[in-house]
Structure 1
Amino acid sequence: MARTGLAGAVRVARWADNALGPGRDAATADGKATLSAATADRAAADLGLTPEQIRADWDTARLAGLVEVHGDSARPGWRLRAWDRDDSAVLRGWVALFDAWSLALPEPEAHETAAVAEAVSAMPQVLSFLQLSAGPVPVEQLLDLLQQRVIELRTERCEVSYEPGAEPPVEAAEPTGTPDAPPASLAPLLDWALEALASVGALTCGAGQATLTPLGSWAVWVKLEQICVAAQSPAGNIEQSAEDMLRGCAQLRPNAARAEYRAWLAARTVGSAVSELIDAARGEDALLRGLAFEALRVVGAPAEPDVRAVVDEPTLRPYALLWLAEHDGLDPEDAHEVLTREEATWLWVDTAAAVADHGEAPMLVRHLESAVQPTVPRLLDEVRAVGHPRTVQVLVALAAAHPDPALAKAVRRAAFQVHTGG
């Protein structure tokens, strides 16, 4: 159903991928992602559609993440690249469109912006009721529910004290109504909301009733599940920054940490969450770098463009290459094969730095076994050459932890040579 509903948007997005871009025709003329008249006419001629159809499909493609507009240029979104091979990309594209239902149709002109915002804020409860009803619901019943929810929203915002004897603030204006007064003229707003949701394929309307489509019912269920996941955060890090959340997960077992990542991600948009995680990975703490990419594995395909964009950053390159290899289907046990010897050595030092900062001495000794070099002398030679900023600290910590005096002496000598530039 999602593929069928977005077929027109995909068609226009693929046309734009071939026809627009740097050195070719501009996608827009106003810098606001609105398709220019000339481009719409050209697309209509090429695809055998009307300019109006092209504009509608273009807007859908943008809302679904199939097209990204930068200035006056358009480029395909990651969902378009993954469209034929990844069903989850299709579903995520439709959910993005579902989330943007209030942009699908122009707002009613006769209503103030605040009233429209109240109706939009109240619609999740209406949709939840439709999902639980699992069938047609009279529009009048939905209107009653919408009115009740708007009253609740107004009451929650009311800051007037109702305690006996309380004096209103001098600056306070005379209230124009009580918080529990029934909102006026919500029927046109409900009609607009239902029509907009129907236009994106979330529900159908007819005979004074509204019914969620199977796709709409699934989307509402997904949203409810995300809320439940976010509410069940095992370690309570949902409201923390990415860096603080990762620190809070450092002592958790892998399964518990992944549950915490999922809860943290559910409370944010994908784009902002991925950006926060990558910024945390750029810091000086090697442990957070590794944990950030573990969290990005939970994100999955939507993180691919951002991960691919940091491949050329030396600090993040080995982590990004491993992430991309696993994302492309390579077995995690074989993913290290995509790294060069130098990259693998750099990653070994970075991981050793995390162990030295946050682990125990035996863990650092065991970390020697994960090196790609067959002998300690070879490892020390290549570690000295790789240029990791934490090389000296790692070697000093390893020398202090290793029980073999001869090996510890060799490691200390290597640390001294790196320190003095030898």
Structure 2
Amino acid sequence: VARPGWRLRAWDRDDTAVLRGWVALFDAWSLAHPAPDDLAPAAVAEVVEAMPQVLSLLQLSAGPVPVPQLLDLLDQRVTELRTERCEIPYGPQPDPAAAADTPQDAPLPALLDWALHGLAAVGALTWADGQATLTPLGSWAVWVKLEQICVAAQSPAGHIEQAAEDMLRGCARLRPNAARAEYRAWLAARTVGGAVTELLTAARGEDALLRGLAFEALRVVGAPAEAEVRAVVDEPSLRPYALLWLAEQEGADPEDVHLVLTREETTWLWVDTAAAVADHGETQLLVRHLESAVQPTVPALLDEVRRVGHPRTVQVLVALAAAHPDPALAKAVRRAAFQVHTGGE
């Protein structure tokens, strides 16, 4: 069952959303135009894997390319793929006479014919008079793919092949610009849907630092992550982060974006951030974090912190009491931690 989704609504107001949607169709050309049943599935898979090189030649040529030239390149690339897989015959070999009677894979001309028809069907190229030419849209899509490969190849910290959680841990020590570059490289090596799922899974863990970093990476993803982020708004541990992310995507003023959170959600986020600082930062950062609370006084902050029910409340208060230089304030914080721990008032 198919129904209109948020992407269709985005197309009415966002040209880049239209282009992203078309790139998804471009990526799926072999599904939009399925191979005939008489073509061997293994041979079809090889051609699909080899077509990026064919498209790159079309893009570099910036004009019509004769089909025989494309066929030569396709033949070379398929041979390279088979060599990379070390497809060397082993064991008893069939009798040559019997092999001659065995049906062979579909010839490459038939496979190339199918591939060109498929790419023409999604508007990536035109094909007539024995020549193929990328459309302007097709040329742009190939350029986008090449740019993504280049970005992935320039990963500054080398986390491309790691899972989201390990990548985020590695980026925790980087400066913001360097971390964003690493996020872009990591994202370029994955499908958007898979990357967003990985990041949200990492955000659900116990490490509050990874939660914040995961949403920083999702900011690099941008609008394509909107549906998945909107779906986690009702999860208590992700709600404040998701609401802030969505407000930013909708164009809220950076100075006012925090207004989308209730007082309780703001306090919960303060505790979560304090937990990240307590686990990974210096004690002075935790003391300075106290100044970022929206509550006008420490007693008011402690009162609201006790009520929000964050699972790390006791640890955060104990760490804050140990770090704060004011003995009276530290004592009040320790008392609040004890009350949360015992369930008292």
Contact 2:278 2:286 in 1 (8 A): yes
Contact 2:218/2:225 (8 A) holds in 1: yes
Residue of 144, 167, 170 corresponding to 1:222: 144
In the alignment, structure 1 residue 154 sits paired with structure 2 residue 112: no
Determine the C-alpha separation between the residues in 1 that align with 2:200 and 2:261: 20
Question: Which position in structure 1 is the counterpart of 2:99?
Answer: none
Matches of 1:373 and 1:158 in 2, distance apart? 66
Shift of 1:176: 9.2
Q: Which residue of 2 aligns with 1:123?
A: 51
1:379 alignment counterpart: 301
User: What is the rounded CA distance, in whole Å, between the counterparts of 1:187 and 1:77 in structure 2?
Assistant: 39
The answer to whether the 8 Å contact 2:40/2:106 transfers is no
* Residue equivalent to 1:55: none
- 5 Å-filtered alignment, 1:102-251, equals 102-158=30-86, 160=88, 172-174=91-93, 185-251=107-173
1:287 and 1:351 in contact (8 A); partners too = yes
1:342-400 Cα shifts (integer Å, max 9, x gaps): 00000000000000000000100110111110111111111111111111110110111
Q: What's the RMSD between the two structures over aligned residues?
A: 1.6
Q: Which residue of 1 aligns with 2:8?
A: 80
How does the TM-score come out when normalised to structure 2? 0.94
Q: Which string of whole-angstrom CA distances, capped at 9 and with x for unpartnered residues, describes residues 144-184 of structure 1? A: 10011111111111154xxxxxxx96xx342899xxxxx97
Judged with a 3 Å threshold, the aligned counterparts in structure 2 of structure 1 residues 106 and 310 are, in CA distance, closer, same or farther, namely: closer
Structure 1 distance, partners of 2:164, 2:241, is 17
Distance 1:173-1:271 versus aligned 2 partners, 3 A rule: farther
- 1:319 aligned to 219, 241, 260, which one? 241
Tell me, in whole angstroms, the C-alpha distance in 2 between the residues paired with 1:216 and 1:102: 15
Partner of 2:325: 403
Task: Name the CA distance, whole Å, in 1 between partners of 2:45 and 2:311.
Answer: 51
Change (3 A) 1:231 1:196: same
Q: What letter matches 1:137 in structure 2? A: V
Name the structure 2 match of 1:265: 187
Query: Which residue number in structure 1 is paired with residue 198 of structure 2?
Result: 276
Taking the aligned partners of 1:370 and 1:173, their CA distance within structure 2 comes to 75
1:370 corresponding residue in structure 2: 292
Shift of 1:116: 1.1
Query: Normalised by the size of structure 1, how large is the TM-score?
Result: 0.77
Cα gap change, 1:310 to 1:152, in 2 (>3 Å): same
Q: Which residue of 2 aligns with 1:297?
A: 219
Please list, as runs of the form range in 1=range in 2, the aligned pairs for 1:1-16 lying within 5 A after superposition.
none
Relative contact order: is structure 1 or structure 2 higher (C-alpha 8 Å, sep ≥ 6)? 2
Q: Which amino acid aligns with 1:101?
A: W
What count of residue pairs does the alignment treat as equivalent? 336
Unaligned runs of 5+ in 1: 1-72, 161-167, 178-182
Q: Please tell me the residue identity of whatever aligns with 2:242.
A: A
Mapping 1:8-87, distance limit 5 Å: 73-87=1-15
Identical pairs, percent: 84
Runs of 4+ displaced beyond 6 Å: none
Moved more, 109-118 or 200-209: 109-118
Contact 2:196 2:225 (8 Å CA) reproduced: yes
Aligned mates of 2:337, 2:92 — CA distance in 1? 72
Conservation of the 8 A alpha-carbon contact between 1:243 and 1:277: yes
CA distance in 2, matches of 1:418, 1:199: 64
| Structure 2 unmatched runs, 5+ | 97-104
What is the CA–CA distance in structure 1 between the aligned matches of 2:21 and 2:55, rounded to whole Å? 19
2:100 corresponds to which residue? Answer: none
Q: Is the Cα–Cα contact under 8 Å of residues 39 and 106 in structure 2 kept in the other structure? A: no
The whole-number CA distance in structure 2 between the counterparts of 1:234 and 1:198 is: 37
Secondary structure in 1 matching 2:3: strand
Residues 227-266 of structure 1: CA distance to partner in whole angstroms, max 9, x if unpaired? 1111111111111111111111111111111111111111
**One-letter code aligned to 1:256:** A
SS at match of 2:2: strand
Q: Distance in 2 between matches of 1:175 and 1:143?
A: 29
Q: What amino acid is aligned across from residue 93 of structure 1 in structure 2?
A: G
